[in-house]
Amino acid sequence: MTIPSRNYQISPSQLSTYKTCPQRWLYSYRDCLRPIGTQSFFHTGTYWHELAHHYYQLLQAGFVLDSPELRQSMISLMERNLEEADPVFLNIYLQVHIMFMRYMDKRSPVIDRGIKIERVEEELRLELEPGLDLMGILDLVYYDKGDIVLRDHKTGASAAAHSDAKMEVQDQLLFYACLYWQIHDVIPSIELSWISSKTDYKKVPEYDQLFRRFRRKLTLEELTGFWTYIQEYVYHMRSVTPIRKVQSQCATCQFHDPCIMSLRGLNVDHIIENRYHKVTRDYEFTKFTQISSEHTDFHVTLKESNITLIG
């Protein structure tokens, strides 16, 4: 395959796409295709991350955990966001407000007391070789009793996808840990903080239905092994013609039709031309704090929406 002349940058999501299906990776990252009509990503996880990053920036700046000032600052931010909300995304805003009020009132005081925040939404970038960077963004970097911890926020309707056992093969966090270790020469711990995106419980949910935390203390041997694994995969991505996977997930893939038809030996140029468009991939990250500002052409007030922020 042809490598772009500009810096080629690989993130954990790109690596994950390649591992899931090399053909999908080719469509998405080599051909830079996206289905026509696909809009910028803005969903529950995106907006929750934005609020969380603002919250931890306030804590880093000196706001006191549990204080009325911290709580009111976040409520004011959420009110401003509602006033600027695009109606298409209004339900997302309201859902996340309930989630975040729960988190701020019930969860953060449990897991954040006594920590020292080092950085919020830190961008990691490492040149593996000339013209090739590995990159990613850490949600939170903090000290806890002398240990450096890399926290990743995850939202979802169920915590079933995460467990302590799965942390030893958690690609994204291990990818981040290797970059952090290579850049700072520090062996970190990795942590996944799960927050339930479900808001319509029929009865008051148990605490562990709303929040879970999984943490793993890494060793030099683990980091060394996973760092070798990353480099081998990146070499494979750049140097070997990928073999497509045919699997049950193909039925819901956004590239299902051109992929399956080309597998049958049919010309798919007309499908690509009519259903997809090329996007510019400048291999730059958009931070969560930059996203919701792109969706701000509708105005609604808390009074007009007749909702409460308290979940």
Tell me what percent of the residues of the chain surpass a pLDDT of 70.
86
pLDDT tens readout for residues 161-180:
899 999 998 999 999 999 99
Instruction: Tell me: do 203 and 259 sit in the same domain.
Output: no
Instruction: Tell me: do 191 and 132 sit in the same domain.
Output: yes
Instruction: Tell me: do 218 and 119 sit in the same domain.
Output: yes
Does any domain span residue 97?
yes
pLDDT tens readout for residues 255-291:
999 999 999 999 999 999 999 988 876 444 444 444 4
Instruction: Tell me: do 124 and 161 sit in the same domain.
Output: yes
Q: pLDDT confidence of 242, banded at 50, 70, 90?
A: confident
Instruction: Tell me: do 61 and 127 sit in the same domain.
Output: no
Gyration radius from the chain CA atoms? 21
Q: Domain limits at 68?
A: 43-113+290-311
Instruction: Tell me: do 164 and 107 sit in the same domain.
Output: no
Instruction: Tell me: do 157 and 97 sit in the same domain.
Output: no
Nearest of 192, 195, 194 to residue 102 by alpha carbon: 195
Nearest of 224, 149, 137, 142 to residue 192 by alpha carbon: 149
Does any domain span residue 232?
no
The pLDDT, as a whole number, for residue 241 is 79
Going by C-beta distance under 8 Å and a sequence separation of 6 or more, which residues neighbour residue 230? Answer: 15, 134, 175, 178
Per-residue pLDDT for 159 more than 80? yes
The pLDDT, as a whole number, for residue 39 is 52
The pLDDT, as a whole number, for residue 294 is 41
Instruction: Tell me: do 148 and 186 sit in the same domain.
Output: yes
Does any domain span residue 283?
no
Give 101's DSSP letter. Answer: H
What is the pTM (predicted TM-score) of this model? 0.83
Whole-angstrom distance, CA of residue 41 vs CA of residue 20: 20
Instruction: Tell me: do 143 and 218 sit in the same domain.
Output: yes
Does any domain span residue 171?
yes
> How many domains, the chain?
3
Collapsing DSSP to helix, strand or coil, 214 comes out as strand
Does any domain span residue 6?
no
Which CATH number belongs to the domain containing residue 197 in this structure?
A: 3.90.320.10
Instruction: Tell me: do 61 and 160 sit in the same domain.
Output: no
Instruction: Tell me: do 185 and 144 sit in the same domain.
Output: yes
Tell which wins on pLDDT, 224 or 281.
224
Does any domain span residue 8?
no
Whole-angstrom distance, CA of residue 99 vs CA of residue 96: 5
Nearest of 229, 210, 215, 212 to residue 165 by alpha carbon: 215
Does any domain span residue 74?
yes
Does any domain span residue 176?
yes
The pLDDT, as a whole number, for residue 41 is 57
The pLDDT, as a whole number, for residue 38 is 57
Q: Take residue 158 and report the two structure tokens written for it.
A: 């169920």
Instruction: Tell me: do 18 and 58 sit in the same domain.
Output: no
